[in-house]
Copies of this chain bind each other. A is one copy, B any other.
Amino acid sequence: MVQIIADRRDVDFNLYEIFNAQELCDHKKFKEFNQKTFNMIVKEARNFAIKEMLAVYKDGDEIGVNFEDGTVKVPDSFHRVHKLFCENEWTAPASNPEFGGQGLPYMVAGAIKEYMMGANWPLYAYASMGVGTGRMIETFGTKGQIETYLNKLYTGKWGGTMLLTESDAGTDLGALTTTAVKNFDGTYSLTGNKIFITNGEHDLCENIIHPVLARIKGDPEGTKGISIFIVPKFLVNPDLSLGERNDILCTGAEEKHGIHGSATCSLALGSKGNCVGYLLGEERKGMNIMFNMMNGARLSTGAQAMAYASTAYLYALDYARNRIQGKDLKDILNPKAPSVPIIHHPDVRRNLLWMKSYVEGLRSLIYYTLNCMDRSGCEIDKKRQEKLDNLIEILTPIIKGYSSERGYEVCIQAMQVFGGAGYIRDCPVEALARDCKITSIYEGCTGVQAMDLLGRKAGMNKGAVFMDFIGEIKSVIEKAKQDENIKDTAQRVETAVNRFHEIASHLGRKTKSLEIDVAFAHATPFMEIMGDICMAWMHLLRANTASYKIAAKPKKRDRDFYTGQLKTAEFFIHTILPVTMGKMDVVADTVSTAIDIPESSFGGL
């Protein structure tokens, strides 16, 4: 059977052969599960994604959402599938079972999400965004808030959002103008306008719980004066039934490049002077609380891009195996030679292998990070836990920034494999490319991820976190160097990592000098390089695992798969990593041209 969305063999390779999800079941947190139950759950998720979610994807893309009179209607066909999605309890696979979650490891939840996001992200997000809102309430809310909202959010009955952006406060949230005034009853009255709110209004859930960033009147300017409030669309009665409609109104839904099935709304708060909000956590701690959720959203966005890329790759691969066009290169002059599937053509093979190397490298990097989250959740040694949490922190901007960029390029290259057919709306990868473009933009665009990496993460704990990161790679290299099959490849990665360490230190020093501007002009290239290094690391780990498995003389199907891993690692490390070496020369050189050029010399005036 042709694989759709994600190659199940590769998902299992990550889960059970590289990162050993089954070992988590030894821990009491996951003792109710075993590899068999994991398998069953992933299988069900895959079936549901393909049979139900993918089947209505086109409705989202073609019909889109319909804004009228303050309401947003999703395509009719979304309703049945959304209901099934919630009934089958797919909303919160890794959340706390006490509040309606399924308590699965993040890694297994990651496999579920891959299929669902690749099949129909807009539909998936309506049900799942409430989990982000819920997690924030679980972490920072009062007992009463937890009791009021959590179960409804984790079970998809109510939706969630995040109201950050305003027309003059995008990347710079400190500039926001939404205000909150404390009332006598301890609630707050909010006034302001928010834009670009994913799922800000829709007709799939009976209520929507909006976390809203706002400034309490009199609080300081900038980010340190920001608080966060829970603003429900319908106020909630003490018996948890729905009360009055709150004064938060949808004023429009955007027409977009892609994700047409997802409602991107503008919302007016307090236009009648009566928008009720409840403080979440302490006053003026809004940014901290928001970032706690934002980190999860960024990892999820990286995974979203990878899911699109994986889906696009599998469509392109299937097309390349079946599309007959042209002769084999060596038969080009022989008129009697048969036409062949385009996967025979060297340039198509190169392109497919290029796509494969990113899809699988990104998948492993994401599962690696989810594995860190799972291990952190089981860890009792605080120091070891902190180390895992810090690795997650340093990898988050890479997963968001690098995966969204490379994932998009994979979608675009998939269009290229289809040729003219790839430009037509009927072609499944056409919409994937449009949808994927959002991932490099929302939840902090690529440049913001690069600044987060260089400005905050790379220097965390005086560089100790960075050294742990390098250490993780070096331990893989050391092991791979023992393996005759991949020794040379491992040495190439070692050279690259050593060089990377040098340029990271060099650039880090510049961020602390008068040349801070110049350093940050190299932030995005630095993030790209670190992403490449992560890919090389993951491919070496994959190749090492595959090489070990091949030695046990597996059946043909498995042997083909493992051979694919060795070849993909070789491809990435021998044909992409040398280009990264060139990129590192540029960072080492750190020219100041982008800073020096006068503004008028950019032209256009």
Chain A interface residues toward B at CB < 8 A: 1-3, 7, 9-10, 165, 168, 170-172, 175, 195-196, 220-222, 254-258, 313-314, 317-318, 321, 324-327, 329-330, 335, 339, 343, 345-353, 356, 408, 412, 415-416, 419-420, 422-426, 430, 433-434, 437-438, 440-442, 445-447, 450-451, 516-525, 560-561, 563-564, 567-568, 570-571, 574-575, 578-583, 585-586, 589, 591, 593-605
Contacts and interface: CB of A to CB of B under 8 A. Distances in A.
A575 B600 contact: no
Contact of A567 (B258, B353, B408, B596): B596
14 contacts: A2-B604, A170-B420, A172-B325, A175-B339, A221-B335, A321-B599, A329-B517, A330-B517, A347-B447, A347-B520, A350-B594, A412-B437, A423-B438, A570-B593
B441 A415 contact: yes
Nearest to A588: B578
Going nearest first, the 10 A-B pairs with the smallest beta carbon separation are A582-B582, A564-B601, A346-B521, A347-B447, A255-B425, A567-B597, A346-B520, A579-B582, A350-B594, A172-B326
Nearest to A567: B597
A415 B445 CA distance: 11
Contacts of A425: 254-257
B424 A255 contact: yes
Contact of A582 (B175, B335, B580): B580
A415 B256 CA distance: 12
Overall SS of chain A's interface: helix
Given A7-B604, A416-B447, A582-B583, 7 more contacts: A3-B603, A3-B605, A195-B420, A350-B594, A353-B593, A412-B437, A575-B591
Contacts of A450: 347
A441 B424 contact: no
A257 B430 contact: yes
A376 to B, nearest CB: 31
A325 B175 CA distance: 8
A339 to B, nearest CB: 6
Given A424-B255, A521-B346, A599-B343, A579 B583 contact: yes
Nearest to A337: B222
A270 B420 CA distance: 24
Contacts of A420: 165, 170, 195-196, 441-442
B349 A597 contact: yes
A346 B2 contact: no
Count chain B CB atoms within 10 A of each CB in A1, A450, A586 and give the residue with the most.
A586
Contacts of A195: 420
Given A255-B426, A339-B172, A597 B564 contact: yes
Contacts of A3: 603-605
Contacts of A352: 602
A574 B589 contact: yes
B521 A416 contact: no
A518 B346 contact: yes
A581 B588 CA distance: 15
A75 B220 CA distance: 53
B564 A593 contact: no
Contacts of A523: 346-347
B168 A324 contact: yes
A603 B542 CA distance: 14
A317 B586 contact: no
B595 A222 contact: no
B256 A561 contact: no
A7 B326 contact: no
Nearest to A335: B222
B430 A602 contact: no
Count chain B CB atoms within 10 A of each CB in A445, A450, A596 and give the residue with the most.
A445
A7 B601 CA distance: 12
A159 to B, nearest CB: 20
Contacts of A324: 168
A333 to B, nearest CB: 10
A517 to B, nearest CB: 5
Contact of A423 (B256, B326, B583): B256
A596 B516 CA distance: 46
Contact of A317 (B415, B422, B602): B602
A292 to B, nearest CB: 22
B585 A578 contact: yes
A462 B207 CA distance: 73
A353 B597 contact: yes
Contact of A594 (B318, B349, B561, B598): B349
Contacts of A353: 593-594, 597, 602
B347 A314 contact: no
A582 B585 CA distance: 10
Contacts of A221: 335
Contacts of A345: 447, 520
Contact of A351 (B196, B327, B339, B447): B447
Contacts of A522: 350
B257 A346 contact: no
A595 B343 CA distance: 10
A524 B430 CA distance: 22
A257 B256 CA distance: 13
Contacts of A600: 560, 564
Contacts of A568: 597
A237 to B, nearest CB: 36
A517 B347 CA distance: 9
